[in-house]
Amino acid sequence: MTYGAGALGESFVDYLSKKDNICAFEDAVSGTTLVDNDSNSYIGRIGRLPVLEKLTAFVLQLSTNDAIKGKEDLGEIAQDDNFDKQTVTGAIEYILNYVKKNWNCPVLIFSNPKFDSEFYGQMVERVKELQNKWNFDFLNLWDDDAFNYNEKDRELYMLDPIHPTRAGYKLSWLPVIEEELLKIKK
């Protein structure tokens, strides 16, 4: 998603950099998951980010790949710092804990708009629950009616049910992401 697979490798991150003069560390690899299943998973890659940089915010996509790869495991919210990184919940909590320890900056998690996945809906609900524990911002496009596009807009904004086009990123996603980042900045 953040890589821009449906938009010729360009996503809202690139537009934020160009339009808003944001210096972004974009670490996106198509097809990867939150769940720690290889060196390119979100867990595998977070340890390779520059921890000495001072971050203004950390933005995390609620991965659609965890919902479509057929190995769904939501997991449980941890009662301690032993996060089950083989589950979606444990992976998110591990990342939130890592960000807090290394950068101590605000976090924004964003979801995709609705697509045909009951499990992704469960992931969205779990993120809502995690907000109480971890105190982060959540841009919930899944439950946002503005992203339940009519047929004409869907053709313009989405390559498929998951991947936005360039127009989708620039005209639909970018304004709401900018707004959320401005809220965090204040």
pLDDT tens digits for the chain (186 residues)? 555 566 556 767 777 777 777 777 667 677 778 888 888 898 999 988 877 778 889 999 999 999 988 678 999 999 999 999 999 999 999 999 999 999 999 999 999 999 999 999 999 999 999 999 999 999 999 999 999 999 999 999 999 998 999 898 889 999 999 999 989 877
What predicted TM-score, i.e. pTM, was given to this entire model? 0.89
Q: Both ends of the chain: CA-CA distance in Å?
A: 27
The answer to whether 137 touches 99, Cβ cutoff 8 Å, is no
Q: What is the pLDDT of residues 102-138, one digit of tens each?
A: 999 999 999 999 999 999 999 999 999 999 999 999 9
List C-alpha distances in Å: 55 to 24, 83, 143, 184.
Answer: 9, 24, 28, 12
Q: Name the H helices within the chain.
A: 12-20, 42-46, 65-68, 88-102, 118-134, 151-157, 166-167, 174-185
Closest residue by Cα to residue 157 from 19, 7, 41, 47: 7
Rounded CA separation 62/79 (Å): 22
The answer to whether 184 touches 108, Cβ cutoff 8 Å, is yes
For residue 31, what pLDDT is reported? 74
